[in-house]
Structure 1
Amino acid sequence: MTDAPAPPEVEPRRGFMAKLWYGYARVTVALRWVIVVGWVAAATAAMLFLPPMQGTANDIEALGANDSSFAAEQRSLELFGFPLLSRAAIVQRNPEALPPLVQAEAVMRGIAINQGKHDTELLGAIPVPNAEGAFPEAAETNTTVITYVFAEPTLNFFEQTAVVEEFAERQLTDASDAYVGVTGSIPARAAQGLVLNSYVHIVEVVTIIAVLTIVALTFGSLVAPALTLISVGAAVFVTLGVSGWAATVMNVSIPADLRPLIVALLLGIVTDYCIFYFAGLRTRLREGHDRLEAARLATASTTPIVTVAGVTVAAGTASLLVAESPLFSGFGPALALTVLTGLVVAMTLVPALVAITGRAVFWPRTTAVEPAKVRERPSLLLRAVANRGSAFVIVLLTVAGLGLGAYQARHLDLGLGFVQSLPAATSAQRAAEAASEGFAPGIISPTEIVLEAPGVGEKADEVADFGEALKSQPGVAGVIGPGDLRAADDVGAFTTESGDAVRFLMVLDSTPLESTAIETLERVQAALPQLAVDANLGEVTTYVGGDTALASGIIADTTNDLLRIGLVALAVNLLLLVIFLRALVAPLYLLASNVLSLVATLGLAVLFFQDFLGQDDLTFYVPFAGSVLLLSLGSDYNIFAVGHIWQEARTRPLKEALMVATPESTRAITSAGLALAASFGLLALVPLGPFRELGFLLGVGILIDVFVVRALLVPSLITLVGPVSSWPSGILKRERRRRRTV
């Protein structure tokens, strides 16, 4: 038998922190069985005893709790005694013709509900037919009736939708009723929840299979993906349980739409860190160390990088706390808690598992001891990024390419699009389409405009002139006001009994929650004071409410949060890079490369969704949540890649360190990036607009970061800047001088 090569020293040769991490590794490996049993028990207890993660059930109100549109609706309710706006509507449509009797029955049914003479839990109804003369701006006549209905507002949107659907299905049983379905923002949110519940477990299973396949192919192993699955499972069960408990204790809720993103993030980062530990173990085993010592050394060298990387991602996502928007400020802690839980699992459970399994991690492949040999000739790409001349060309080309993509981000528009995000086959989407064809797209969520002034309701001609002026505004398809609907006038829906206020329903010619409608409403809202003056109404107080106004306020708040969140996220990521690298120059260009990659990804999303697919906009929270994640995960990979170069540069010239460290870190980052991109990208399997957008944005962003920024741009920048990268510490220069004195 031939003797194995003598392994390198097992104890780190210098440095307090290096010895500290080696001590941590010794303890972790020694307690490996205790750690594994402890995590299994923790995951089981979390699943059995902690409350599940819950999403808010009435998040339309939660999103804009402080919005002026709700204040307008509240003032309208105070003045008139009952609401005019409804977020649920029953749609009847026959494109050939809706019989006059059916239209009349719809009107009488609404009157009966308003008078409390109908056997229903609904509190009120406003039927609007597109009969000739009743709605002159309608796309059709005598084909459609939309009945706005009011359910008990304390019910969540699932319960409100069920009440409306039960009433419609009980009343509209004849074929001549031409019942299409129930639509509006509340039924749309309920439909989104049902679609999400139907697909989320399928997506999770497919994602797990894809991620484990990547791990298996990376290491040629069947055991490595099994260990990854154990680690991910422990992290998921503990995180969901702890998040549910924390939400209960702190009386906060996780946005229902974004809970699958938490699972995808957890799958991705835990898999990434597993890959880093497995790669470190394989290297140590090939150096000739025994199972336990290889696990200690791999843990000691990998854990500092994983820790800083995880803390960077957690701190970056926690920057959402500074947002004033309820959505982001509530979502930030959930993401940070997710990352921290995944980090703790990676730091403890993964080293324990590799210490137990040793070489079996890579079964059926072997990890034979490799004798010392002359270093292989570096690849053409590696030689290119390590040469100053070619590195300069690479930087120019990559920056130009990313800049071209980033330039497209200037066209980014934001919207809410609850109904439009649904699959075409859903009832809410079909009903919305039918209502749009019978009237105009804005009919499913009209805007309420209230005019308040002493005696304004007695100025019938002036009020009528104001209504006509509203109708003439660009982007307005129709206006319903005093005198337009007898059933509504009979109950004082449009004019108060005192005559001190009037109100209108304004229907836009574009989809209510998308960017075009928001822009139209902003123009109309700015023109309202002058329209009132021109109609001789004098000085009036105007209030504007409705879903479009709500969307406008939410997007304005979100945009205002952008600067605040962006500055904090950049500062946090920069600070942690500075601390880890003990430098100022390198963190600056590393972070700049992340930002360029991020903006380029946003530009590609604009090109794909708005230009190629023809969408009006992107869902308002997608660019911001995605940006924070991509920025933080980019710093995560920076730490792993540059950290290895920095370690090698302590004992060799920077160019040589780059040539030695880059190949192995690039392989690990490529595998980890593919796993993370798959984890995020497969969110697009959920047939909802926001998930398609998130899947594209995060999946493409990770791939750009791995294959362009990390493989080309960053090593080229390191080559160009050279040892100055470590300024002001001078670590790289000091280490080079030390080599010359040896």
Structure 2
Amino acid sequence: MLAAYARVIVRLRWLVVLFWAVAAAASVVYLPAVGAGGHDLDELVSTDNPAIQSEIRSFEKFGFPLLSRVAVVQRKAEGLPLSTQRAAVERARAVSEGRLPDVKPVLAAVPVTNVGGLFPGSTENGTTIITLLFTAPDVSLADQVEAAEKFVADHYGPEDAVVGVTGSVPARVGQGDLVLSSLPWLETATVVAVFLIIAVAFRSLVAPLLALAVSGVAIVLTLHIGGAVAQRLGVPVPQETQPLLVALLLGVVTDYVVFYLSGVRAEFAEGAGRLAAAERATARFTSIIVTAGATAAAGTGALIVADSPAFRAFGPGMALAVFTGMVVAVTLVPALLAILGPAALWSRRKRSAPDIAAAEAERVGNGRGAWLLTRRWFAPVVVLACVGALAAAAYPLRDIALGVSFVEALPGSHATRKAADQAEKGFVEGILSPTEVLVEGPGVASRAEQLRALQAALGKQPGVAAVVGPGDDAIPQELALFQAPDGTAARYLLVLDDEPLGARAVHTLAGLNQRLPALLKDAGLTDVRASLGGDTAVARVVVDQTVHDLGRIALAALLANLLFLALYLRALVAPVALVVCSVLAIGATLGLTTWLFQDVLGGDGLTFYVPFAVAVLLLALGSDYNIFGVGPAWKEARGRPLADALAITLPQSARAIRIAAFTLAISFGLLVLVPLRPFQELAFALSVGILIDAFIVRSLLAPALLTVLGTGRGEPAAAPEPDEPEPDETEPPASKPAAPEPTTTA
């Protein structure tokens, strides 16, 4: 069947190339691109989030929100003049009273100053004013930021010492802008890196061009088909996925191209012609690539089982990318190889005698290492050493913490981040994203004594820097900020000590949420309910939901990988062992990531979606290397012990895996060019994880473990493992090799 498929693709090679060229062009013309709707990951928070529901009820009770996510910061370290402070108050009153119609969609403005300790928790006196801006709920994030910047440009002067516009909304818009502006640089750097790696690995200038052409077709199709599907289903696709999709596709498709190129190079070395080499390589590798691609797509698609909207958005996009890349690779690459023939491996520089000698030495060294690794007396030592090293690397994972970062994710040079830093200097870290405590119940707004007692209790909670509420005499009662007109609700504003969306603040609010019923009871507030709103409260629910999703995501991803491996290998013990190896690699990767970003760099937890996206991607991509590494050995083991089969096939498969893994690791590592903290975490975790998987797990641990376990279907009696000392020659046990590594380049 595979031979027939290979013949069809090779004979229809020109039609295959034409088909994909037309398909890519048509997708650009007729289909929208991913991210065309301007969505970002944080807009995917469900409206069912209890924190958002609390804010909605607060708005309905009071007629206006207490929380603002856009603010204008004014600051002078030596102190703001009284005239500037009075102007800020008058300007805000004019906005709220509708006397400045040009500021719409801004509906209201509230100045907060640190003069004379008016705001509890202020660390300075008279240096900073934060003017909170309020808009209608249906105003887009970009329009809110544009209105705030126009407000500053039209109504503030040099004497007002404006630092800038900041808050969680400007930070979210800034993140989206940085992602889109970084994408061209990311694509360029990745293309250059892939070109250089493939050119050096195959000593050819044509091979990398082939890999990039196929990857380009897959990227164009994925971005536009994904955009069309998202638009048709009404599912927002986060902008954050686009750099990840590009890196994933360039890496994965290059992996597939590497294996096809290795196959045709071996065929050319044995004297096969152009079409015969393409057919044989296609027949040999297509089943492996299809199985690997389907396994990886199923593994990433497992995110669809999550409750979290963020994960449900990530999963289908990643699965579509891998599946599209696989379909393009198994059709377009064989067709191009059949057309190009030896020209696909063409090089301007002929290989010299030293080059050939070096390649032969590498092949012999690989053969010696594979022979030693697959001896039953040596394999257990390798297993114990690898497991110990991976377990040690995973140890810091016990201290992992999760947060959701907006402002703090931005680079220090970003205007929004600078304004936030200045605001925090004048007040406290949590000033820009306070938490709202909403208390609801019949007549609760009139219970002044109990409300004051609750406010005092809230102020004593760990991690709370300040509380503003009904017990503050400095707040004019006519503003009705904290007591609902119908008397059925009261609310407080909490400012936390820590960065509002970091892991420590999320932990603080989780504890407060648990203690709220007891605090209400101690204050004498019975027959009421309390809820939390604001960015930190939303982040707490998102983090809790993410952790809750862990079990189902892990189960779905593991089952998908195990199922495909079991079907491909027609065994159970070996697939389970290979999946366990993948889990060890993931644990080590996340342990090292936690150690670097929390312990060394002092970060306030990892971005909530990073560990889970990394785990699913590494598990899915690790299955590729499982199949690439074990598949040829498993076929060879039909007539000989698995240890001997591994010794025969490992030298070539391990080399191809290392080339592919290094390319994929570089592709993911270049995500660091997006100057946002989540992308730095992703870049490190994915690149390190791929290298651990390829160079430790697939090259050492998995072969050694399979040597110990065997195939699980019984070793063939006709070809027992030879019980003899290591031969003088460093070749594996004699047999016809599956596809020996060539010593010359066509």
TM interval, short-chain normalised? over 0.9
1:58, distance to aligned residue in structure 2 (A): 6.2
Alignment of 1:558-577 (within 5 A): 558-577=546-565
Alignment of 1:639-658 (within 5 A): 639-658=627-646
How big is each residue's C-alpha offset from its partner over 1:171-217, in whole Å with a ceiling of 9 and x where there is no partner?
A: 22133x12111111110011111111221110111011101111111
Q: Is 1:417 the equivalent of 2:405?
A: yes
1:735, distance to aligned residue in structure 2 (A): 7.2
For the residues of structure 2 that align with 1:62 and 1:376, how far apart are their CA atoms? 54
Q: Is 1:352 the equivalent of 2:335?
A: yes
Q: Is 1:252 the equivalent of 2:235?
A: yes
Q: Is 1:162 the equivalent of 2:146?
A: yes
For the residues of structure 2 that align with 1:502 and 1:385, how far apart are their CA atoms? 70
1:123 corresponding residue in structure 2: 107
Change (3 A) 1:108 1:528: farther
For the residues of structure 1 that align with 2:705 and 2:48, how far apart are their CA atoms? 46
Residues 582 and 726 in structure 1, CA contact (< 8 A), matched pair in contact too: no
2:490 corresponding residue in structure 1: 502
1:534, distance to aligned residue in structure 2 (A): 2.7
For the residues of structure 2 that align with 1:715 and 1:60, how far apart are their CA atoms? 42
For the residues of structure 2 that align with 1:476 and 1:378, how far apart are their CA atoms? 60
TM normalised by structure 1 equals: 0.93
1:313 corresponding residue in structure 2: 296
Instruction: Give the aligned residue type for 2:517.
Output: P
Change (3 A) 1:322 1:504: same
2:23 corresponding residue in structure 1: 42
Aligned equivalent of 2:712, options 723, 726, 729: 726
Q: Is 1:199 the equivalent of 2:163?
A: no
Instruction: Give the aligned residue type for 2:125.
Output: T
Change (3 A) 1:738 1:703: closer
Residues 126 and 488 in structure 1, CA contact (< 8 A), matched pair in contact too: no
1:104, distance to aligned residue in structure 2 (A): 2.4
Instruction: Give the aligned residue type for 1:33.
Output: W
1:669, distance to aligned residue in structure 2 (A): 0.3
For the residues of structure 2 that align with 1:667 and 1:541, how far apart are their CA atoms? 63
Instruction: Give the aligned residue type for 1:507.
Output: V
Mean alpha-carbon deviation: is it higher for 206-215 or for 49-58? 49-58
Partner-residue secondary structure (3-state), 2:240: helix
1:134 corresponding residue in structure 2: 118
Instruction: Give the aligned residue type for 1:200.
Output: L
Aligned equivalent of 1:184, options 143, 150, 167: 167
Change (3 A) 1:397 1:458: same
Residues 585 and 726 in structure 1, CA contact (< 8 A), matched pair in contact too: yes
Q: Is 1:113 the equivalent of 2:95?
A: yes
For the residues of structure 2 that align with 1:532 and 1:720, how far apart are their CA atoms? 62
1:63 corresponding residue in structure 2: 45
Change (3 A) 1:62 1:689: same
Q: Which runs of 5+ in 2 are unaligned?
A: 723-746
1:379, distance to aligned residue in structure 2 (A): 4.4
Residues 151 and 164 in structure 1, CA contact (< 8 A), matched pair in contact too: no
Instruction: Give the aligned residue type for 2:459.
Output: K
For the residues of structure 2 that align with 1:569 and 1:529, how far apart are their CA atoms? 38
Instruction: Give the aligned residue type for 1:542.
Output: A
RMSD in angstroms over aligned alpha carbons?
A: 2.1
For the residues of structure 1 that align with 2:351 and 2:574, how far apart are their CA atoms? 35
1:73 corresponding residue in structure 2: 55
1:110, distance to aligned residue in structure 2 (A): 2.2
1:548 corresponding residue in structure 2: 536
1:78, distance to aligned residue in structure 2 (A): 1.4
Partner-residue secondary structure (3-state), 2:125: coil
1:158, distance to aligned residue in structure 2 (A): 1.6
Residues 64 and 554 in structure 1, CA contact (< 8 A), matched pair in contact too: no
Q: Is 1:143 the equivalent of 2:127?
A: yes
How big is each residue's C-alpha offset from its partner over 1:674-730, in whole Å with a ceiling of 9 and x where there is no partner?
A: 0000111100111100110110010000000011001110111122112xx233xx4
Aligned equivalent of 2:608, options 600, 606, 620: 620
For the residues of structure 2 that align with 1:695 and 1:58, how far apart are their CA atoms? 19
Q: Is 1:173 the equivalent of 2:157?
A: yes
Mean alpha-carbon deviation: is it higher for 561-570 or for 235-244? 235-244
Partner-residue secondary structure (3-state), 1:256: coil
2:246 corresponding residue in structure 1: 263
Residues 286 and 367 in structure 1, CA contact (< 8 A), matched pair in contact too: no
Change (3 A) 1:184 1:306: same
1:30 corresponding residue in structure 2: 11
Q: Is 1:83 the equivalent of 2:65?
A: yes
Mean alpha-carbon deviation: is it higher for 74-83 or for 272-281? 74-83
For the residues of structure 2 that align with 1:265 and 1:415, how far apart are their CA atoms? 25
How big is each residue's C-alpha offset from its partner over 1:100-133, in whole Å with a ceiling of 9 and x where there is no partner?
A: 2222222222222222222311012222111113
Name the % identity.
47
For the residues of structure 1 that align with 2:552 and 2:669, how far apart are their CA atoms? 28
Residues 640 and 716 in structure 2, CA contact (< 8 A), matched pair in contact too: no
1:136, distance to aligned residue in structure 2 (A): 3.2
Aligned equivalent of 2:519, options 531, 543, 561: 531
For the residues of structure 2 that align with 1:163 and 1:614, how far apart are their CA atoms? 35
For the residues of structure 1 that align with 2:366 and 2:485, how far apart are their CA atoms? 86
What number of residue pairs does the alignment pair up? 711
1:579 corresponding residue in structure 2: 567
Change (3 A) 1:519 1:86: same
For the residues of structure 1 that align with 2:680 and 2:569, how far apart are their CA atoms? 37
Change (3 A) 1:738 1:203: closer
Change (3 A) 1:103 1:464: farther
For the residues of structure 1 that align with 2:84 and 2:478, how far apart are their CA atoms? 21
Partner-residue secondary structure (3-state), 2:138: coil
Instruction: Give the aligned residue type for 2:681.
Output: E
1:696 corresponding residue in structure 2: 684
For the residues of structure 1 that align with 2:118 and 2:407, how far apart are their CA atoms? 26
Alignment of 1:325-336 (within 5 A): 325-336=308-319
For the residues of structure 1 that align with 2:69 and 2:513, how far apart are their CA atoms? 21
Partner-residue secondary structure (3-state), 2:130: strand
1:429 corresponding residue in structure 2: 417
Residues 40 and 238 in structure 2, CA contact (< 8 A), matched pair in contact too: no
2:732 corresponding residue in structure 1: none
Q: Is 1:96 the equivalent of 2:78?
A: yes
Partner-residue secondary structure (3-state), 1:726: coil
Q: Which runs of 5+ in 1 are unaligned?
A: 1-19
TM normalised by structure 2 equals: 0.92
For the residues of structure 2 that align with 1:123 and 1:141, how far apart are their CA atoms? 29
How big is each residue's C-alpha offset from its partner over 1:370-407, in whole Å with a ceiling of 9 and x where there is no partner?
A: 9xx99957544323311222211111111001001112
Change (3 A) 1:527 1:654: closer
1:454, distance to aligned residue in structure 2 (A): 2.6
Partner-residue secondary structure (3-state), 2:409: coil
Alignment of 1:451-466 (within 5 A): 451-466=439-454
Residues 125 and 147 in structure 1, CA contact (< 8 A), matched pair in contact too: yes
1:500, distance to aligned residue in structure 2 (A): 2.7
Change (3 A) 1:738 1:712: closer
Residues 322 and 565 in structure 1, CA contact (< 8 A), matched pair in contact too: yes
For the residues of structure 2 that align with 1:594 and 1:483, how far apart are their CA atoms? 56
Instruction: Give the aligned residue type for 1:150.
Output: F
How big is each residue's C-alpha offset from its partner over 1:579-637, in whole Å with a ceiling of 9 and x where there is no partner?
A: 00011111011000000000110000000000000001111111111110000100110
Partner-residue secondary structure (3-state), 2:480: coil
Change (3 A) 1:238 1:735: farther
For the residues of structure 2 that align with 1:612 and 1:629, how far apart are their CA atoms? 25
